[in-house]
Structure 1
Amino acid sequence: MTKTSGADAGRTPREVLDLYHRAMREMAADDLADLYAEDGTHEFPFTTPGFPGRFEGREAVRAGYRAAWGASPLRMVEIADVVVHEAAEAGTLVGEHVAVVESARGERFAVPGLLVVRVRDGLIARMRDYMDALAVGRAGASIASKSPAAAS
């Protein structure tokens, strides 16, 4: 179990968001989860069928992202168009971004997203993740329609 270290406590919310984006780019579930407080939550307000509405606790974040990224036919290429807005509440940021993902066939898809992150002692206490589920669905549908199983 990871405990808050002195290095964690000294991180600013912007640094945490930068590390979060790096973990996303690398699809590194452990690095991502280690950015969360032990009791941190990750919420998906725009729920999609078959995907939970939230992960409660660092280890649930770890398990959820390991499963999601491990099963994904897409790989992350880049996080682009990042814009960060400081919120009035201390330790809170709003980050806009576009995740660029690629299929095994080399097709690229843009998935816009918005993150509202609350950082406490250098770790994520609460993340609200508003990703464009329709863009994810379009990418998945394109891959499924071109698979050998779909042709039979």
Structure 2
Amino acid sequence: MPTDLPPLGEPGKVLEKLRTCAIAQDVEGTAKLYADDVVHDFPFAMPGVPPHLVGRDAVMEFTTSNWNGPIKYERYVTIAAYLTDDPNTIIVHQDVYGSSSTTGELCLPGLIVFTTENGQIKRFTEFVDALAVYKAMGQIKPSDVHQEQEERIRSLTGLS
């Protein structure tokens, strides 16, 4: 059970529940944690991944489709966690460990900004290492990573 979060008030408690649900792939439990009008952003999304999800239904459709893929989460490790000026918002640097039926063991590093309201997730911004996700899914070979990074930088900056 992921319990390595320092005291982070309500958002920390909700994040602990979310981590537990993600490991168990508990659809019902996960859905209850999201507000109807939740906003979930992936600022570093790779092509084919929506950078912005609005509403519980959209988040759950995305979540469950990923749970049907090759990646299974097994544990979360908090590297650092911070309270913000808003008592409903926390920032957490975390590594997610698990396995991929395609490539074996995995570690997905990331940073999240997490806001709750009335015990539910209201806004979730997930800065995840998208290349690590694609590698874990077997969609990018390690030798392709440098090329993918260069292409992503060109697409974001408009440089050739």
Q: TM (normalized to structure 1)?
A: 0.78
Alignment partner for residue 18 of structure 2, among 14, 20, 23?
A: 20
Which range moves more in the overlay, 98-107 or 73-82? 98-107
Instruction: Tell me: CA distance 1:53–1:30, structure 2 relative to 1, closer, same or farther (3 Å).
Output: farther
Task: Tell me the percent identity.
Answer: 28
2:55: which partner in 1? 57
Residue by residue, what CA displacement relative to the aligned partner does 1:113-152 show, whole Å, maximum 9, x if unpaired?
Answer: 111011111111100011111111222237989xxxxxxx
Alignment partner for residue 86 of structure 1, among 83, 88, 94?
A: 83
Which range moves more in the overlay, 44-53 or 135-144? 135-144
What is the rounded CA distance, in whole Å, between the counterparts of 2:26 and 2:79 in structure 1? Answer: 19
Aligned residue pairs, count: 134
Is the 8 Å Cα contact of residues 103 and 143 (structure 1) preserved in structure 2? Answer: no
Question: AA paired with 1:51?
Answer: V
1:67: which partner in 2? 65
1:30: which partner in 2? 28
Higher relative contact order (CA 8 A, sep 6+): 1
What is the rounded CA distance, in whole Å, between the counterparts of 1:83 and 1:24 in structure 2? Answer: 20
Q: CA RMSD in A?
A: 2.3
Any stretches of 5+ residues in structure 2 without a counterpart?
A: 1-8, 143-160
Task: State the SS of the aligned residue for 2:40.
Answer: strand
Alignment partner for residue 112 of structure 1, among 109, 114, 127?
A: 109
Task: State the SS of the aligned residue for 1:115.
Answer: strand
Any stretches of 5+ residues in structure 1 without a counterpart?
A: 1-10, 146-152
Is the 8 Å Cα contact of residues 30 and 62 (structure 1) preserved in structure 2? Answer: no
What is the rounded CA distance, in whole Å, between the counterparts of 1:89 and 1:51 in structure 2? Answer: 29
What is the rounded CA distance, in whole Å, between the counterparts of 2:66 and 2:139 in structure 1? Answer: 18
Q: TM (normalized to structure 2)?
A: 0.74
